[in-house]
Structure 1
Amino acid sequence: MRHPLMLSLLLIASSAAAEINVTVEIPRIDASEYHRPYVAVWVEDGGHEVVANLAVWYAQKETKEGAGSKWLADLRQWWRRSGRDQTLPIDGVSGATRPVGQHQLRFDAAKPPFAALKPGQYALVVEAVREVGGRELLRIPFDWPVTASRHLDARGEHELGLVKLDLIP
């Protein structure tokens, strides 16, 4: 028979899981006509195939110009590799555009979409595009599975600020 304290420690140890934390910074841009950017965040494998969509932020409401999803094709890389094959909104992935600031995405590696990843080399990809603005794409390579804590980042020049990827085993 196991001691109650030992059972508690086993439960704590088994409940600890690897975490993936992503921070996407949307910078302040001084422009006479400012629009929040559309942003897509995904994971791709070594062959640049999308293996997981993590976030797609776009205008959720119908406007006089049409539905916000109409402009998702402007996220060119994401659209060509995954977006055009999606049924929108994507449950748990789609959301409204974000204001200036840092925005967090947190994932448990033991749950989808990361639980299905095979060992190998991957990249976190973040693409942003803004009406009457520019387009920017950042790629942060990483190895899977996570064996040691890693902090990785990339800095955008215009449409994206600092994008951080924290991998915690």
Structure 2
Amino acid sequence: MRPLPLILAAAAGAIAAPAVAADLTVTLDVPTIRTAAYHRPYVAVWIEQPDQTAVRTIALWYEAGDTGRGEGRGEDYLKDVRTWWRKGGRAMALPIDGVTGPTRAPGRQTVTVSGARLSSLPAGQYNVVIEAAREQGGREVIRLPFTWGGAANTASAAGTSELGAVRVAVTR
């Protein structure tokens, strides 16, 4: 039988330990859309609480800088990614190292966030939200629930217009 102080020390260590040593991976398909004037979508991926309070933006794809076509800066059009914009995007100073990047071509795209980058995220239930908006196109938002700080888990859904298959996975 173990002495009581060792049992209490082990229990305290378990409580004080980080909630998770996991990665969060979001996989999404940007569909091929056959149209004369195709523009790659602006895409925002963020984490929110179940009450839809934004927690953290984990990816933002847009056309940064002057396009050279007299259209101005790509940042001017981020407001078209309306849900993300209203939940805090307008307050962000861009670009954000490790988060922002250029628009992506049609096909399967992956965003992986290491557990180290999410170490301050308390264990609990969350949603990953993916929003895509395309010039002369549509706009689509998909929410996928996930649990952070527990066992590995996945969720998936399929978009109907601007997004194809979407999957979130928490892996240990």
TM-score range, shorter chain: 0.7 to 0.9
SS in structure 2 opposite 1:77? helix
Could you list the per-position Cα deviations for residues 82-108 of structure 1 after superposition, in whole angstroms to 9, with x for gaps in the alignment?
Answer: 110100111211100000011111122
Identity %: 44
Task: Show the counterpart of 1:69.
Answer: 75
Task: Show the counterpart of 1:158.
Answer: 161
Alignment of 1:25-36 (within 5 A): 25-36=29-40
Alignment of 1:22-101 (within 5 A): 22-63=26-67, 64-101=70-107
Post-superposition, which runs of at least 4 consecutive aligned residues in structure 1 deviate over 4 A?
none
Alpha-carbon offset, residue 167 of structure 1: 1.1
Opposite residue 39 of structure 1, the aligned amino acid is V
TM-score of the pair, normalised by structure 1: 0.85
Supply the distance in 1 between the matched residues of 2:51 and 2:156 (Cα, whole angstroms).
21
Supply the distance in 1 between the matched residues of 2:64 and 2:49 (Cα, whole angstroms).
29
TM-score of the pair, normalised by structure 2: 0.84
Alpha-carbon offset, residue 144 of structure 1: 2.0
> C-alpha root-mean-square deviation of aligned residues, in Å?
1.4
How many correspondences in the alignment? Answer: 151
2:139 is aligned with 1:135: yes
Which 5+ residue runs of structure 2 have no aligned equivalent?
1-19
Q: Give the greater-gyration-radius structure (CA).
A: 2
SS in structure 2 opposite 1:115? coil
Alpha-carbon offset, residue 21 of structure 1: 1.2
Which 5+ residue runs of structure 1 have no aligned equivalent?
1-15
Contact 2:24 2:168 in 1 (8 A): yes
